Amino acid sequence: MGYACPVCDDPQQDAEHLANHLAFQALTHGDDHEAWLDEHTPDWAEGGPADLAPRLEGLAEEAEYEAVFEDTTEESSDGELYDPDLQGVDGLPGHDHDHGGAGAHGHGRGHGHGHDHTGGDGIDVSNLDPDAREIVDEAQELTREMLDDSEGDDEE
């Protein structure tokens, strides 16, 4: 069971995932998703997914999907939904080597291991329009800063 996006019918496993989907599409594309949110859930951008999700439950159509969502099963991640060659050991494509500790590996992003982290989530970002590319670049930079900050916290 899950919810169908009321705009594009994309399957979402629960109301919180639906909230994330709708908001992300609205913020990155400003398309029909934004118009739908504005019409059905005024002030949708004021809170987070936990605030928006309950408001969506009565508005979105429940749907049954044949596909199993990755995080809704107790099974291991070695089936069709998980490909270690694509996702790597720690979720990064081709990123299956040990860094010797909890992320404190003492080298930066371009660290000479012969693999490319461009679009670190395995998505080909080369064909994105300039606005989308800017969003991805900013998200990657914010993630790097967040990880650097958390590594500094671990050292204290």
Both 150 and 94 in one domain: the answer is yes
Is the separation of the CB atoms in 61 and 72 below 8 Å? no
Q: Are residues 46 and 110 in the same domain?
A: no
Per the domain annotation, does 102 fall within a domain? yes
Residue 148 resides in a domain: yes
Report if residue 147 sits inside a domain: yes
Q: How many CB atoms lie within 10 A of CB 140?
A: 17
Count of domains for the chain: 2
Q: What is the pLDDT of residue 122?
A: 56
Dihedral (Cα; 95, 97, 98, 99), 10-degree rounding: -60
Query: What confidence tens digit (pLDDT) does each residue in 33-64 have?
Result: 999 999 999 988 888 888 999 999 889 888 88
**Structural domain of residue 41, as residue ranges?**
2-63
DSSP, res 127: T
> Domain for residue 14, yes or no?
yes
How far is the C-alpha of 26 from the C-alpha of 24, rounded, in Å?
5
Which among 11, 30, 63 is the end of a domain?
A: 63
The CA-based dihedral angle spanning residues 42, 44, 47, 48, taken in that order and rounded to the nearest 10 degrees: 160
Instruction: State the pTM of this model.
Output: 0.45
Asked if 43 and 102 sit in the same domain, the reply is: no
Q: pLDDT under 70 in the chain at which residues? A: 66-125, 152-156
Residues 88 and 124 reside in one and the same domain = yes
Distance, first Cα to last Cα, the chain:
45
Residues 147 and 150: their CA atoms lie apart, in Å, by: 5
The answer to the question of residue 132 being in a domain is yes
Q: CA torsion sign, 84 to 90 to 94 to 96? A: negative
Residue 112 resides in a domain: yes
What pLDDT shows up at residue 147? 85
